[in-house]
Amino acid sequence: MKEQNWWKECVVYQIYPRSFCDSNGDGIGDINGITTKLDYLKDLGVDVLWLSPVCKSPNDDNGYDISNYRDIMEEFGTMEDFHRMLEEAHKRGLKIMLDLVVNHTSDEHEWFNQSKRALDGGKYRDYYIWKKGKGENPPNNWGSFFGGSAWEYCEERKEYYLHIFSRKQPDLNWENPAVREEIYDMMQWWLNKGIDGFRMDVINLIGKDQNFPDGIKDGNAPYGDLVPYTHNMPQAHIYLKEMNEKILSKHDVITVGETLNTSVEDGIKYAGFDENELNMIFTFEHMNVDNLGNSKWNDQRFELRKLKEIMTRWQNGMYQKAWNSLYWNNHDQPRVVSRFGNDGPYRELSAKMLATCLHMMQGTPYIYQGEEIGMTNLYFDTIEEYEDIESRTAFEQCTKMEGVDEETMMRRIRWKSRDNARTPMQWNSRENAGFTKGTPWFTVNPNYKSINVEDQQQNEESILNYYKRLIALRKKYRIIVYGDYRLLDPESDKTFTYMRTLDQEKLLVACNFTDAQVRMQIPDELKGTKGRILISNYSHEDKMLIAAYGSEGRTGEDGSILLHPYETVVTLF
Ligand code: GLC
Ligand code: CA
Residue nearest to atom 4 of ligand 1 (CA): 64
pLDDT tens-digit map of 506-565: 999 999 999 999 998 888 888 778 888 999 999 886 666 654 444 456 777 677 788 999
**pLDDT given for residue 548 in this prediction:** 41
Given phi > 0 = left and psi -120 to 50 = alpha, else beta, which region is 403?
A: left
pLDDT tens profile 448-475: 999 999 999 999 999 999 999 999 999 9
In a domain, 382, yes or no: yes
Query: Has residue 105 got a pLDDT over 50?
Result: yes
| 191, pLDDT greater than 80 | yes
Kindly state whether residues 291 and 334 are assigned to the same domain.
yes
Alpha carbon of 458 to ligand 2 centroid (Å): 27
The pLDDT, as a whole number, for residue 558 is 72
The count of other CB atoms within 10 Å of the CB of residue 202 is: 21
Choose among 178, 176, 142: nearest CA to 160.
142
pLDDT value for 220: 80
Tally of domains within the chain: 2
Which CB contacts under 8 angstroms, 24+ apart, belong to 489-493? 489/308, 489/520, 489/521, 490/305, 490/308, 490/309, 490/312, 491/305, 492/304, 492/305, 492/518, 493/303, 493/304, 493/305
Would 90 be classed as within a structural domain?
yes
Q: Average of pLDDT values for 490-505?
A: 96
Same domain, 291 and 375: yes
**Quick check: is 478 in a domain?**
no
Name the residue among 558, 548, 557, 559 with its Cα closest to residue 569: 548
Q: Is the CB of 171 under 6 A from ligand 1?
A: no
> Does the Cβ of 100 fall within 6 Å of ligand 1?
no
Q: Give the closest residue to 440 by CA, choosing from 16, 15, 17, 25.
A: 25
For residue 203, the enclosing domain spans: 6-104+177-386+423-471
Claim to verify: residue 377 and residue 489 sit in the same structural domain: no
- Structural domain contains residue 467: yes
Mean pLDDT (whole number) for 356-363: 98
Say what the pLDDT of residue 525 is.
84
Helical segments of 92-162, H only = 110-117
Measured in angstroms, how far is the CA atom of residue 188 from the centroid of ligand 2?
A: 28
CA of 34, nearest ligand number: 2
pLDDT, mean over the chain: 95
Q: List, for residues 295-352, the tens digit of each pLDDT value.
A: 999 999 999 999 999 999 999 999 999 999 999 999 999 999 999 999 999 999 999 9
Q: Are residues 563 and 448 in the same domain?
A: no
Among residues 359, 436, 421, 458, the alpha carbon closest in space to that of 46 is found at 359
Ligand number nearest CA of 77 is: 2
Same domain, 232 and 359: yes
Is residue 22 situated within a structural domain?
A: yes
Ligand nearest the Cα of residue 393 is 1
**450 lies in the same domain as 551:** no
Last residue of a domain, one of 471, 503, 536: 471
Q: Which residues have C-beta within 8 Å of that of residue 507, sequence separation ≥ 6?
A: 360, 477, 479, 480, 483, 499, 500, 501, 534, 570, 571, 572, 573
- Residue 184: which CATH number? 3.20.20.80
Report the nearest atom of ligand 1 relative to the CA of 146. Answer: 10
Give domain status of residue 453, yes or no.
yes
Residue 376 has pLDDT above 80, yes or no: yes
315 and 237: one domain?
A: yes
On whether both 449 and 326 belong to a single domain, the answer is yes
**Is the distance from the beta carbon of residue 201 to the nearest atom of ligand 1 less than 6 Å?**
yes
pLDDT of residue 3: 85
Domain-terminating residue out of 450, 471, 492:
471
Decide: pTM greater than 0.95. Answer: yes
Kindly state whether residues 244 and 381 are assigned to the same domain: yes
Q: Does residue 445 sit in the same domain as residue 496?
A: no
Catalytic residues: 201, 258
Tens-digit pLDDT profile for residues 225-272: 999 999 999 999 999 999 999 999 999 999 999 999 999 999 999 999
Tell whether 309 is covered by a domain: yes
Banded model confidence at residue 353, pLDDT cuts 50, 70, 90: very high
What contacts 8, CB < 8 A, 6 or more positions away? 323, 364, 481, 482
**Domain-located, residue 220:** yes
- Residue 261 shares a structural domain with residue 369: yes
pLDDT given at position 2: 55
Q: What pLDDT sits at residue 547?
A: 42
**Does ligand 1 come within 6 angstroms of the Cβ of 388?**
no
Last residue of some domain: 437, 471, 505?
A: 471
Q: How confident is the model at residue 383 (pLDDT cuts 50, 70, 90)?
A: very high
Give, as residue ranges, everything with CB less than 5 Å from ion ligand 2: 22, 24, 26, 28, 30
Same domain for 57 and 99? yes
Which CATH number characterizes residue 565's domain? 2.60.40.1180
